[in-house]
Amino acid sequence: MDDQSSKKSSKKDLKRISISLGLIALQRLSDPEVRAQLAKHGRTLTDNANQWRAERSASRSLEGPGGVALPPSSWTDRFGRRKLERRVQRLRASVLSLGEGRPELARSLDPVLAALEEVTSAIEVAEVLPLTKRIRAHQKVDRVLDGLEASLFDAALPQLPRP
């Protein structure tokens, strides 16, 4: 029984840490100085997004014999763990490329990278859960990634004066 209570407390601790890191990342992304630095270097994000779009289009346009489009290698490439892992990789690449050659900006984006590490851990932990719980866990991870992506995008946009 003591073993189960320690598992529950460690899950609660992990959840608190994940929430804290997510909040710190979101706070950093809402900081006006970080937003200004991101706005200056937002072009890198646009380039990464364009590159991703081009790669995605290229993979979709692969054709098999007779001009028939080939399906993805497996259904897990489009759903579940692999999709979430690809989103984490793309977001991590965007954050790292924004910080290249800009140590001050890179330091302010460290909480975002830490949050991505926590998300990666959560994806790995979810893999051993039963299917319904795994799906719920993936949905939670999906929402966290949505929040981080949206915050990073919003922070990278230049602050336009309101009419």
* Bridge partner residues of 63 (DSSP): 69
Has residue 10 been placed in a domain?
A: yes
Would 123 be classed as within a structural domain? yes
Q: Is residue 144 part of a domain?
A: yes
Within a domain: 61: no
Q: Which residue segment(s) compose the domain that 86 sits in? A: 2-46+75-156
For the chain, how many structural domains are there in total? 1
Per-residue model confidence as pLDDT tens for the chain (163 residues): 555 665 666 677 777 777 777 777 777 777 777 777 776 666 666 677 677 777 766 665 544 444 444 445 555 555 688 889 999 998 998 888 887 888 887 888 888 888 999 999 999 999 898 989 999 999 999 999 998 888 887 777 665 555 5
Residue 60 within a domain: no
pTM above 0.75, yes or no: no
Structural domain includes residue 27:
yes
**Does residue 55 form part of some domain?**
no
Residue 5's H or E segment, with its range, is helix 2-30
**Token pair for 152:** 């990073």
Amino acid at 86: R
Burial 7-22 (b: 16+ CB within 10 A, else e): eeeeeeeeeeebeebb
Sign of the four-CA dihedral 100, 143, 34, 13: negative
- 59 in a structural domain: no
- Maximum CA extent, the chain: 63
Query: What sign does the CA torsion over 44, 50, 51, 56 have?
Result: positive
Between CA 123 and CA 141 the distance in angstroms is 7
Q: What single-letter DSSP state applies at residue 116?
A: H
